[in-house]
A = this chain, B = another copy of it.
Amino acid sequence: MSAAWDLGSWSREHLECVEQALSRWVGQGAPAGLGDAMRYAVLDGGKRLRPLLVMAAYEAALSARQSTWGAAERSGADEAALRAACAVELIHAYSLVHDDMPCMDNDVLRRGKPTVHVQFGEAQALLAGDALQAFAFELLTPDDERIPGAVQASLCRQLAHAAGSAGMAGGQAIDLASVGLALTEDQLREMHRLKTGALLEGSVMMGAACACVPPQAKAALQAYGAAVGLAFQVVDDILDVIADSATLGKTAGKDAASDKPTYVSLLGLAAAQAYASELLAAAHAALADSGLPDARALAALADMVVRRSH
């Protein structure tokens, strides 16, 4: 643990691998128009929080390994983590493409660029989202004997659960049904736990699974993932109120304009900010409980999630 460790350098190093892998893989073999839309949706944009959570959890779990791996096993685990990092980003990217469509949020600006359906048309956007979801599962299941079948299957299981009706898609359905309704804090938390939290928590658990995390650390990482996932959404709601569109790279003030329940509308701004701080403390406490020797990247990512400005 050198004193020189900082999140910026760590992130740059890992994101370089992730960006290169995404650029190499996404849209490969796709008919031209579809491949273009897929690449536009994924490349050159986004904070890549989910891939970073995968890599951070993978490294933290690696730091706790007692038994030693041979070179092939280790390179297989590294490859699995990189693929998992890309797969969660593909799921995130596809959900944004579909979310932005006219029948959903009808948004025209995303990451400072026209949304996919504005750029490529609605039909192509629909297909690009569908193809990105399928590709996430294809990435997790390479014909590569270095990655055990059980690990591949476990990654697919976790991603499918996080993305599906008991995860992200389910949360979006609740969101859709909640516009204009007065939700309780419990209902709002449940919606966000599914809509945003499931994939963030899934990212942590998938990273940990690539290094076969020890059982005692698994529950702690789950608690960390749940706290960070919820904190992310609370901060999103806060930023929607206090930031402007240029900083966010998307349309600000959308929630209030579309009469969506948020933590700010429910708790007020000051209480929402206090809640975000509480969740950050819970994330750090979970890492302390985990017994993982080196969870610096996970700790720093939690800080970044709560303290970000966009």
Q: Mark A124-167, 1 if CB is under 8 A from B, else 0.
A: 10110111011111101111000011111110110111011111
Q: Among B27, B138, B153, which residue has its beta carbon within 8 angstroms of that of A141? A: B153
Query: Can you list 29 A-B contacts with CB-CB less than 8 angstroms, sorted by A residue number?
Result: A29-B165, A29-B166, A29-B170, A30-B165, A30-B170, A31-B170, A31-B173, A31-B177, A33-B177, A34-B170, A101-B126, A103-B126, A104-B126, A123-B176, A124-B176, A127-B172, A127-B176, A129-B130, A130-B133, A131-B164, A134-B160, A135-B165, A137-B159, A140-B156, A141-B154, A141-B157, A141-B160, A153-B153, A156-B156
> Is A77 an interface residue, CB under 8 A from the partner?
no
A98–B276 alpha-carbon span in the complex (Å): 38
> Is A35 an interface residue, CB under 8 A from the partner?
yes
Complex contacts, A133 vs chain B, CB 8 Å:
130, 133-134
A35–B104 alpha-carbon span in the complex (Å): 18
Q: Mark A185-198, 1 if CB is under 8 A from B, else 0.
A: 00000000000000
A31-B174, A35-B165 are known; give 5 further A-B pairs, CB within 8 A.
A34-B173, A127-B172, A127-B173, A137-B160, A149-B152
Chain A residues touching B, majority SS: helix
> Is A289 an interface residue, CB under 8 A from the partner?
no
Complex contacts, A121 vs chain B, CB 8 Å:
103
**Min distance, Cβ A148 to any Cβ of chain B, angstroms:** 6
Which interface residue of A31, A152, A172 has the most chain B CB atoms within 10 A? A31
Beta-carbon contacts under 8 Å, A190-226 to B? none
> Is A169 an interface residue, CB under 8 A from the partner?
yes
Complex contacts, A255 vs chain B, CB 8 Å:
none
> Is A42 an interface residue, CB under 8 A from the partner?
no
The answer on a CB contact under 8 Å between A123 and B152 is no
Complex contacts, A33 vs chain B, CB 8 Å:
173, 176-177
A160–B138 alpha-carbon span in the complex (Å): 5
Q: Among B123, B135, B163, B165, which residue has its beta carbon within 8 angstroms of that of A164? A: B135
> Is A294 an interface residue, CB under 8 A from the partner?
no
Complex contacts, A149 vs chain B, CB 8 Å:
148-154
> Is A38 an interface residue, CB under 8 A from the partner?
yes
